[in-house]
Structure 1
Amino acid sequence: MTDERLAREFDEHRAVLVGAAYRVVGSVSDAEDVVQEAWIRWAGVEHEEVRDVRAYLIRITTRLALNRLRQQKARREQYVGPWLPEPIVPLTTDDPAAAVELADSVSMAMLVVLETLSPLERATFVLREVFDLPYDEIAETLGRSEAAVRQLAHRAREHVHARQPRHQVDRARHTELTVQFMEAAGTGDFAQVVALLAPDAVLISDGGGKKTAALRPIHGPEKIARWLFGVMSSNPGFEVLPAALNGEIAFVAYFGDEPDTVAFIQTSGDLITELYLIRNPDKLTTVPARHALD
């Protein structure tokens, strides 16, 4: 097989592979590095023995992403404050089925849940629940028995299910609540912000020690509102705009042309249960600049 054909075949699946790696590592830059490493592996295999190119590449990529996730352990332990995944812009592909896969399981809320799984559970969940790979292929990929992989998949599903909102809302209602909340925050309507938050709402902010952020999660509507308005009053030059990130509507606070904060909101019923604020500039490098939203 020529190098040109190899590259073309790999590029057909690149967006799906980035999505697979991102779900495992939660970092866009690490996911792209993993996919580049997968390309090197792909260029060196006996391609005539590969029956399903797409499944084979997903398996290679996920295994490499699992290795990268394990390597991140020390970096995560030294991180200042809570660690949140990086926002990701919509990945594009000409394959409609792949487009569905790319949009599935990349919401910030889902990624936060995946962060609570063990590395093996996380990789198993991605391979089984997102890409529907057979248990025997997952077992071969992870170097575990099929029985062990089935147990990993069961634990991961149970854990993810337990962390899902009690009352799911459709995408339109979620967007509506998100817009209402951001408008209330933008106009300084403290009472409306509190009213939109569930009694057990939590705010998690990630500044990485480089931007103002709470070092621990903030619980309760009034505490969350006070913290939010405190941050906004100390940064009066914000311009807040909606953006499509992680398969949902997020809000980006800009200083001039550069993103300063990305906010994601999780809802249950008619109330907001979780807010995720990403402020670490190292995690905002792929977020569109202000002019790109015009």
Structure 2
Amino acid sequence: MNPTERFERERPRLRAAAYRMLGSLAEADDAVQDAWLRLNASDTTDIRNLGAWLMTATSRVCLNMLRTRRTRGETALDARMPDPIVVSSTADPELSAEQGEAVSMALMVVMETLSPTERVAFVLHDMFTVPFDEIATLVEKTPDAVRQLASRARRRVRTRETQGHADAAEQRRVVRAFFAASRDGDIDGLLAVLAPDVVLRSDGGARRREQSVVLEGAQTVASQAAMYMELAPHVRFVSINGAEGAAVVVQGRVVSLMSFTVVDDRVVAIDVLADPERLPGVTRSITE
């Protein structure tokens, strides 16, 4: 198998890793393309494990992207929502290549709070079983230091939002109950499906970083019932990162995505993406 064929064979795995590290589908594609260009410019004669070489090259590009993002002050939790992977409810998930990259939106959101080296170490070791000594060379730290990075990241992502998710049927029931209550302006109905400490995070839509929103507590989230009531007639249920979600579609255009995290029959988190500059790139499967 020549290097080009091997690269194409590795591409899905490389893209999945890059997406987890960057939280951006477009940037993940850029990182993988950069790895391909580096491969073309290299002498592959002495490369014993091309798959490992490509993963390292892709990860190095991702690490540099994350560091650049950090210097620009783009890493705060309320400043950036990761790109969701969206599949229409009418589509067969097995036919979507991107479903293989899906990680829960709740986990992706929490990962946005990690430092660049923590995120790379966590993704490579915990999700792709890359040995610590290989990661150490990449991030220019000792294997023990990398082990600590991964451990610290692991502790931070082990939140209720990233564990104990309800099964698909229960997610569907709870999310539909949320919108049924919203449609009727039923505050008690909303409180019945919201966890007491539910968190709603939004990127702020067209206002983006300057006015992102974080609401905490069932009463606070339910108090937005008037807004949910306006949205309810336009909701189309979709799969977002493998979990139940909703797209708000007005005149054939997706104006927002709502990802729900359901634990123990209650919504514990709602993540909203409404940035009009980003939505077209992640909602093609809904509108095409």
Pick the TM interval, shorter chain.
0.7 to 0.9
Distance 2:210 2:272 in 1: 9
**Residues 61 and 163 (structure 1), Cα distance of their counterparts in 2 relative to 1, 3 Å cut:** farther
Q: 2:139 aligns with which of 137, 142, 155?
A: 142
1:134, 1:100 → 2: CA distance?
26
1:228–1:137 CA distance, 2 compared to 1 (3 A) = farther
User: Does 1:288 pair with 2:278?
Assistant: no
Q: Is the 8 A contact 1:83 1:208 kept in 2?
A: no
Match of 1:253, as an amino acid? V
1:107 aligns with 2:131: no
**Equivalent residue in structure 2 for 1:227, among 224, 231, 238:** 224
Distance of aligned partners of 1:76 and 1:287 in 2 relative to their CA distance in 1, 3 Å threshold? farther
1:49 aligns with 2:46: yes
CA RMSD across the alignment? 3.0
**Equivalents in 1 of 2:74, 2:99: separation in Å?**
34
Residue 59 and residue 162 in structure 1: after superposition, are their counterparts in 2 closer, same or farther (change >3 A)? same
Partner of 1:263: 258
Q: What SS is found at the alignment partner of 1:132?
A: coil
Amino acid at match of 2:181: A
What is aligned with 1:176?
173
Contact kept, 8 Å, 1:82 with 1:216, in 2: the verdict is no
Name the aligned partner's letter for residue 202 of structure 1: V
State the match for 2:92 in structure 1.
none
AA partner of residue 257 (structure 1): G
Distance, in Å, in 2 between the alignment partners of 1:213 and 1:198 is 28
Contact in 1 for aligned 2:78/2:201 (Cα 8 Å): no
Amino acid at match of 2:155: E
SS at match of 2:185: coil
- In structure 1, runs of 5+ residues without a counterpart are 91-97
Partners of 2:209 and 2:50 in 1: CA distance: 45
Equivalent residues, number: 279
Normalised TM-score (structure 2): 0.85
1:190-235 residue CA offsets vs partner (Å, 9 max, x unmatched): 32112111111111111254379963411122221222523653x6
When residues 232 and 186 of structure 1 are mapped into structure 2, their CA distance, relative to the original with a 3 A threshold, is: closer
What TM-score, normalized to structure 1? 0.83
More moved, 168-177 vs 247-256: 168-177
